[in-house]
Chain A
Amino acid sequence: MPTDPSEMVTLKIPRPLYVRLQQLIAGTGFRSVTEFATYVLRDLASQPQARKDTDQMTEAELEQARQRLRELGYL
């Protein structure tokens, strides 16, 4: 995580949630709620990064895969 304060911003969350998160991270290796929240939010933010099952591939993606398979001689 950046240590330069100018690279950090403050997020506000309800105090009861903050207290609950403090309890949740006790003994887990996370040293603060900030560390934990950063980890969780980063993971959440990365979700839209094309996490698709083949069954959920778009027609364009399917065609791209088929095209490669044709080029390689598999189809």
Chain B
Amino acid sequence: MIHPHGGKLINRVVSAEERETLAREAKALPRVRLNQRELADLEMIAMGAMSPLEGFMAESDYRSVLDSMRLANGLVWSIPVALSAKDDSQRRLKSGDRLALADEDGHTLAVMDVAGCYDADHEYEAQMVLRTTDEAHPGVQYLRSISPCYIGGSIHLIRRPEHSDFLRYRLDPKETRVLFAAKGWNRIAAFQTRNPIHRAHEYLQKCALEIVDGLLIHPLVGETKSDDIPADVRMRCYEELIERYYPRDRVVLSVFPAAMRYAGPREAIFHALVRKNYGCTHFIVGRDHAGVGSYYGTYDAHAIFGEFDPQEIDITPLFFDHAFFCRVCGNMATTKTCPHGKDDHVVLSGTKVREMLAKGELPPSEFTRPEVAKILSEATR
């Protein structure tokens, strides 16, 4: 089994014996209510999905990640995982203090051992991580919405954030690892997605499946921008497709609880490292991975992997060019495998698909399986 990033699968969940004591102590501590992204990060840190992180980043890690895509200890890590202060009193927290972390309803979920507070530079963070400071970028909008005072420190999870959706699809890294071992899979490819599945995605997944033992389809179900297709719709599409077109014994569908950062290339590295923690050995990187608008080059998310020694990343990226159905070839292909021109390719933009669905039209079957088109059409109306 592939090792987690940093060599050890982190577990920040307190033992049953300690839970009551810590919960009692937390009542007397200053409290911060986490936003949706921070809640998702908290759960992922605690369950080991973000190994080797043991908490929200202290200043040394934050600055190092922005400048060099590495933690202060040198390990590759491409995006900040930060907790923002919610009021001025939290600015006075200092190393050695403890802080209760709560959900939006005020329920205590964890206790943080504060390592320190520090001033983030949101302009610099946006430029380095998102490659833009344009306020139209959803990641920039997020940074504008939070305090630039960050609180770093390790966490101790008392209780998990509550979920009411996708309960049968929520697997922790240690569970996916047990699952892959039980299935006898040694080589597992992970597919990250925040979009509905079209024929191009299916093609990428099945190409990967040709060279590995199993496939983890891992749709992101954390916070996304409002015009993305809702996660429940995307999941219905996957359920339908797996039922009809995938070898059930070689595919695992589970949800990825992270929030989208829309950080393109840097998020591709993050998505890959995290999937290693789930036990995957390969990671599919398509065109404009984790991109939005035209902020990133089509294959920037491929190129960024070249900035690291493959052994540092460890999980193997599988790079795919833009895939499409070619009418002349009569099959799915990419520019790597098809000699024909654009006029022979069935390619639709996301905008065009949304327009068609809004008008009650279904995309062609060469672009989207009819079963998926039907689900998307019903969801759009």
Q: What is A's interface to B at a CB cutoff of 8 Å?
A: 1, 29-31, 34-36, 38-39, 42-43, 46, 48-55, 57, 62, 65-66, 68-69, 72-75
Contacts and interface: CB of A to CB of B under 8 A. Distances in A.
Interface of B: 1, 4, 8-15, 18, 94-98, 113, 115-116, 154, 156, 168-169, 171, 173-175, 177-179, 182, 252, 279
Nearest to B252: A74
B182 A46 contact: no
A54 B179 contact: no
Given A1-B96, A39-B113, A57-B174, A50 B15 contact: yes
Interface centre among A1, A53, A69 (most CB of B within 10 A): A53
Given A29-B95, A30-B95, A43 B113 contact: yes
3 shortest A-B CB distances, which residue pairs?
Answer: A35-B96, A65-B178, A54-B177
A66 B182 contact: yes
Nearest to A52: B11
25 contacts: A1-B97, A29-B94, A29-B116, A35-B96, A36-B95, A38-B96, A39-B96, A42-B96, A43-B113, A49-B12, A49-B13, A49-B18, A50-B14, A50-B15, A52-B11, A53-B4, A53-B8, A54-B1, A54-B9, A54-B173, A66-B182, A69-B171, A69-B182, A75-B179, A75-B182
Contacts of A1: 96-98
Nearest to B167: A72
A52 B13 CA distance: 11
Given A57-B174, A65-B178, A49 B96 contact: no
Interface of B is mostly: mixed
A49 B15 contact: yes
Contacts of B10: 51
Contacts of B168: 72-73
B178 A46 contact: no
B165 to A, nearest CB: 15
A65 B175 contact: yes
Contacts of B178: 54, 57, 62, 65-66, 69
A49 to B, nearest CB: 5
B45 to A, nearest CB: 13
Contacts of A72: 168-169, 171
Nearest to B279: A54
Given A30-B95, A39-B96, A39-B113, A50 B13 contact: yes
Given A35-B95, A35-B96, A43-B154, A53 B182 contact: no
Contacts of A55: 1
B9 A53 contact: yes
A46 to B, nearest CB: 6
A42 B97 CA distance: 11
